[in-house]
Chains A and B, each alone.
Chain A
Amino acid sequence: MTIPKSKGTNLKRHTRNSYISRHWALYAMLALPIIYFFIFSYVPMVNILIAFTQNNVILPVWEVPFVGWANFQQAFTLQPFRDAVRNTLMFSALDLVIGFPAPIILALLLNELRMPLFKKITQTISYMPFFLSWIIVGGLATRLFSNNTGAVNNLLTYMGFSTIPFLTSNVHWVFTNVFAAIWRSVGWNTIIYLAAITAVNPELYEAADMDGASRLRKMWHVTLPGIRPVIVILLVLTLGGIMGADLSRFLGMENLLVRTVSEVIPTFVFRWGLQSMQFSLAAAIGIFQSIIGTFLLLGSNWLAKKLGGNGFW
């Protein structure tokens, strides 16, 4: 602030000094975040080199023999890794087919609810599960669905049905997990659709009323087209994340009996990399996933903007 200004004819110098005097504080503020991102985001990118070396956790990366793409090739010969890729894509696909439409339908129904207080209570309660961690959701699911003492199987037995192996058979576990994910986030995900619905032009509803349209028809022909841009954008952005998986969702609910379907790429990297010390192999897999993820994200963001949305950034 106190940099002396040259009061002469040297206009260029004057403007530069006043630029610095007005902006140095901004650069000073940015210094800390820039250093933070350098250390914690950019320095690890150098450590990616370990993916191209022989596995060795003691020597620094540059002193370990270089092995080229061998770790990447080895990864794809491993059946557990192929399973993990398949599972990651399978859960993304199920989330898309079952999980994506769920909040849209719920938002349409919430919008039709005419009692403001009851609507508010329903919303508050339905957003709540989103704030429970996956460890807690996994614990709740175990209590509800376990074979011998779970509440759901207790009720089934009581009513004379046989028990359902929700958590111990592969197929059942997959759907239990997908529905637990929907349980956790469906309410929360209605928020954006409800916000979009309030922006639909009310004159359209009045015109539909004139034509004697039923509520269902108004939902289908007015509300749904009104929020279509938002749906398309969110769909595109969801597609950008199909190679990703939330590690806590799978760690929180898995058990040894269903490992072949509960292993996804992040859990595989954790188990092989940190627990079995296969650093180079796990790093190679991590990079494989990161690069595909980056391209998917860039592509989906580009498409979202092209379709008239905002994208991520």
Chain B
Amino acid sequence: MDGKARKTDAGDVCIIIFMLILIALCILPIMNVVATSFSSPGAVMRQEVTFLPVEFQTGSFMDVLNDSRFMRSMAWTGILTGIVVVVNLFMTILAAYPLTYDSLKGRKIITLYIVFTMLFSAGLIPAFILFRDLNLINNPLVLILPGMISVFNMIIMRNFFMGIPDSLKESAEMDGGGPFTVLIKIYLPLSTPVLATLGLFYAVGRWNGFQDALFFLPSAPDWHPIQLLLYNILQNLTAVDAMDPGASAAPGWGQTVQSAAIVIAMIPILCVYPFVQRYFVQGATLGAVKG
């Protein structure tokens, strides 16, 4: 009634302060790592760095940018992410679309066959044995082939397809279009929001994923995606600096280089995120409300 007209009260002020603290909690950790990456090792060791660079330097950044393994891994992860998005969307559409046809015989059994894989998985070791038999160990294809469809995303896509009115499908079929024509001409053009959302989910999953590489590419470091390389960088120098007095030539240099690596690995996500945020939000409600 008087929602807009009423004055700001103490409650509003409390909520605004709370939200400002929340924003600070989200941003300060990132500012800290940026500050560390641009600070001198000496300043880091003297505990002077909090949220702004002290004794500004760009050498640590240059160390990472000039590291051919790191930049190669960034480029490879980018290419890999592109491939995975295309392959996964293709496979997800292939599974989701036919299952929207009520008249398809065996639909229930096929759906159960697919959903069961979400319920029960054989686990890491049986998968490892299979990949060994298929010569996928230390083979970069292991980052693409085993994860071509997320059943959860497939269900989201199927539900979205099912929301498209049957009358559109029927009128296209009247014009002599088969299921494939209907998919290309009607379903896909109407599904761009869900395609964008699921494509982005697949992209983030691949960009942030490293477990498959950790498990299945033990002796192929050239194919390690950026997160695994970053994991190794963070583990090797120091996870907890109580354990590393004088690990590298200049004390503190390791921390600044690690921070620079974190910042560079974060940049692609942080740059893309603001522009695609609405698709992610859409996806979160699609999955939860309809799934």
Contacts and interface: CB of A to CB of B under 8 A. Distances in A.
Nearest to A130: B280
11 contacts: A19-B105, A25-B179, A33-B95, A39-B130, A136-B227, A143-B259, A149-B45, A151-B50, A247-B211, A273-B128, A279-B128
A37 interface: yes
A67 interface: no
Contact of A36 (B23, B123, B149, B204): B149
Contacts of B114: 33, 37
A298 B146 CA distance: 24
B104 A23 contact: yes
Given A50-B125, A206-B1, A257-B242, 4 more contacts: A48-B123, A140-B30, A149-B44, A298-B119
Contact of B11 (A45, A149, A215): A215
B210 A135 contact: yes
A287 B128 CA distance: 14
A187 B26 contact: yes
B152 to A, nearest CB: 8
Contact of B94 (A32, A43, A121): A32
A192 interface: yes
B75 interface: no
B274 A124 contact: yes
Contact of A127 (B4, B127, B178, B280): B280
Interface residues of A, number: 105
B194 interface: no
Interface of A: 1, 19, 22-23, 25-27, 29-30, 32-34, 36-37, 39-48, 50-51, 61, 106, 109-110, 112-115, 118, 121-122, 124-129, 131-136, 138-144, 146-149, 151, 153-155, 157-158, 167-168, 183, 187-188, 191-192, 195, 206, 209, 215-216, 247-248, 251-252, 254-257, 266, 269-270, 273-274, 279, 282-283, 286-287, 289-291, 294, 297-298, 310, 312-313
Contacts of B36: 143
B240 A147 contact: yes
Contacts of B45: 148-149
Contacts of A118: 16, 19
Interface of B: 1-4, 8, 11-12, 15-16, 18-19, 22-23, 25-27, 29-30, 32-33, 36, 44-45, 47-51, 91, 94-95, 97-99, 101, 103-105, 110, 113-115, 117-130, 145-146, 148-149, 152, 155, 178-180, 204, 207-211, 214-215, 218, 227-228, 230-231, 234, 239-243, 252, 255, 258-259, 262, 265-266, 269-270, 273-274, 277, 280-281, 284-285, 288-291
Given A209-B1, A215-B11, A252-B231, A37 B113 contact: yes
B240 A146 contact: yes
Contact of B126 (A23, A254, A283): A283
B22 A23 contact: no
Given A61-B129, A312-B291, A136 B12 contact: no
A298 to B, nearest CB: 7
Contacts of B44: 149
B266 A44 contact: no
A155 B50 contact: yes
Contact of B123 (A143, A146, A151, A287): A287
* Most chain B Cβ neighbours within 10 Å, of A32, A133, A155: A133
Given A135-B210, A191-B284, A286 B30 contact: no
Which of A153, A158, A255, A297 counts the most B-chain CB atoms under 10 A from its CB?
A255
B95 A30 contact: yes
Contact of A126 (B22, B104, B130, B284): B22
A229 B13 CA distance: 30
Nearest to B285: A195
A25 B178 contact: yes
A50 B258 contact: no
A124 B180 CA distance: 39
Q: Which of A151, A158, A191, A283 counts the most chain B CB atoms within 10 A? A: A151
Contact of A192 (B119, B230, B273, B285): B285
A133 B126 contact: no
B29 A47 contact: no
A122 B101 contact: no
Given A30-B110, A128-B273, A133-B208, A140 B32 contact: yes
Given A139-B258, A142-B240, A146-B240, A154 B47 contact: yes
